[in-house]
């Protein structure tokens, strides 16, 4: 059986000194692309879905099929993870669907879209841990506020509220989470930083301070896509309007891994690669109506970007 908990995958990453990529998917085709990349690279992988963000009307059926798909890859160590669960119910539904890991993002109040109090974050996160751990499911929490806007999470640009090492230690002690997403200078979305220095803004010393306080907790980097300029340029050359910006450089992510980051979320980069390939194809082949040809080009670009990130994170060959 290829399904593993998040804790199992990240324990191996801790021993090996690498990070496991967590790739957002919104269709079975994208999930196949991620798993194909992991199989080819001999890499562990985290396949993750956001509640309410898929190509399908019936989320229960989508999640059930996603769970079954993983069994088709017996050589790939996989965690199936709920990304940015916004409520206890989101997490409960994912656990019922067979997810091996859930993230409860209680760092913001969904009713007001304002940062939650520390006490409210602890209370909701603890409730999810109490549900998940007896069922053998790992839990990721979040402390601080990642910048930008995550699909399905926030429609407005958020200000970054950096994680505090003292609070991080208190949070883990109070909740018992397996992994902790820390706000250390990243930003969600396809438009991150508008100046070239943006990709160098990770607070590496802050990561080191938190890791020193929490040696047994796995640290997670959200909002860390690199926003490849070639993909943005291709999209815009073929009718798109993506604002050019700077993401987190691969070198900075390498420094973060060396300092203790063990899970890196990536969504934007593979989405940009997919869109660039599809826009270029449709622009140069205006007569094309065959869905298979369109989908095939997009999936190759998606898969290749995922494989590239696996090599950069050091997980390639670690399966």
211-222 burial string, b = 16+ CB within 10 Å, else e? beebeebbbbbb
Dihedral sign, CA of 70, 71, 73, 75?
A: positive
**Residue 160 confidence (pLDDT):** 60
Query: How many Å apart are CA 55 and CA 25, to the nearest integer?
Result: 10
Check 36, 83, 164, 269 and give the catalytic one.
83
Give residues with Cβ within 8 angstroms of 16, minimum separation 6.
314, 318
pLDDT along the chain (319 residues), means of 10: 91 98 97 98 98 93 97 97 96 98 91 87 97 98 68 45 90 98 70 50 91 96 89 96 87 95 95 97 95 96 98 97
**Residue 244 confidence (pLDDT):** 87
**Residue 155 confidence (pLDDT):** 38
The bridge status of strand 108-109 relative to strand 114-115 is antiparallel
Query: How many Å apart are CA 130 and CA 120, to the nearest integer?
Result: 15
**Residue 159 confidence (pLDDT):** 55
Rounded to 5 degrees, φ, ψ at 218 are -90, 125
The closest of 202, 264, 248, 184 to 9, measured between CA atoms, is 264
**Residue 146 confidence (pLDDT):** 60
**Residue 202 confidence (pLDDT):** 85
Q: Find the helix or strand (DSSP H, E) in which 236 lies.
A: helix 229-237
**Residue 194 confidence (pLDDT):** 54
Query: How many Å apart are CA 20 and CA 285, to the nearest integer?
Result: 37
Structural tokens at position 310: 């696996």
Rounded to 5 degrees, φ, ψ at 15 are -65, -35
Our measurement of the distance from residue 65's CA atom to the centroid of its chain's CA atoms, rounded to an integer in Å, reads 20
Residue 113 falls in the annotated catalytic set = no
Structural tokens at position 33: 């692309």
pTM, full prediction: 0.91
pLDDT digits (tens, 9 = 90+) for 91-134: 999 999 999 999 999 988 878 878 889 999 999 999 999 999 99
Domain map of the chain by residue range?
6-228+246-272+306-313
**Residue 185 confidence (pLDDT):** 75
129-163 burial string, b = 16+ CB within 10 Å, else e? bebbeeeebbbbbbbbbbbbbbbbbbeeebebeeb
**Residue 192 confidence (pLDDT):** 47
One CATH from 3.90.1150.10, 3.30.70.890, 3.20.20.70, 3.40.50.300 for 6-228+246-272+306-313: 3.20.20.70
Our measurement of the distance from residue 50's CA atom to the centroid of its chain's CA atoms, rounded to an integer in Å, reads 10
**Residue 197 confidence (pLDDT):** 55
**Residue 191 confidence (pLDDT):** 44
Structural tokens at position 148: 């930008």
Q: Find the helix or strand (DSSP H, E) in which 29 lies.
A: helix 28-41
pLDDT digits (tens, 9 = 90+) for 18-48: 999 999 999 999 999 999 999 999 999 999 9
Half-sphere exposure of 171 (CA within 13 A, CB side): 31
């Amino acid at each position: 059986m290829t399904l593993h908990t998040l804790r199992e995958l990240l324990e191996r990453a801790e021993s090996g000194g690498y990070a496991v990529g967590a790739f957002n998917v919104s269709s079975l085709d994208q999930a196949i692309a991620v798993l194909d990349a992991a199989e080819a690279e001999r890499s562990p992988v985290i396949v993750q879905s956001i509640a309410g963000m898929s190509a399908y009307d019936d989320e229960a059926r989508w999640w059930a099929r996603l769970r079954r798909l993983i069994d088709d890859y017996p050589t790939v160590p996989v965690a199936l993870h709920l990304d940015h669960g916004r409520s206890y119910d989101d997490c409960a539904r994912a656990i019922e669907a067979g997810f091996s890991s859930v993230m409860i993002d209680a760092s913001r109040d969904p009713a007001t879209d304002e940062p939650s109090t520390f006490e409210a974050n602890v209370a909701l996160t603890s409730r999810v841990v109490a549900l998940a751990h007896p069922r053998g499911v790992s839990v990721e929490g979040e402390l601080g506020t990642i910048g930008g806007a995550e699909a399905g999470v926030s429609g407005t640009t958020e200000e970054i509220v950096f994680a505090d090492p003292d609070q991080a230690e208190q949070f883990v002690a109070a909740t018992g989470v397996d992994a902790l997403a820390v706000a250390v200078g990243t930003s969600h979305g396809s438009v991150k930083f508008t100046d070239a220095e943006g990709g160098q803004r990770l607070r590496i010393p802050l990561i080191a301070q938190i890791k020193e306080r929490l040696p047994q907790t796995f640290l997670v980097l959200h909002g860390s896509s690199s926003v490849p300029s070639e993909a943005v340029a291709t999209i815009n050359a073929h009718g798109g309007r993506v604002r050019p910006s700077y993401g987190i450089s691969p070198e900075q992510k390498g420094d973060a891994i060396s300092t203790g980051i063990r899970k890196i979320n990536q969504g934007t980069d593979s989405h940009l690669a997919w869109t660039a390939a599809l826009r270029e194809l449709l622009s140069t082949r205006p007569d094309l109506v065959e869905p298979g040809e369109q989908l095939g080009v997009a999936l190759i670009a998606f898969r290749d970007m995922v494989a590239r990130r696996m090599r950069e994170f050091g997980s390639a060959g670690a399966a």
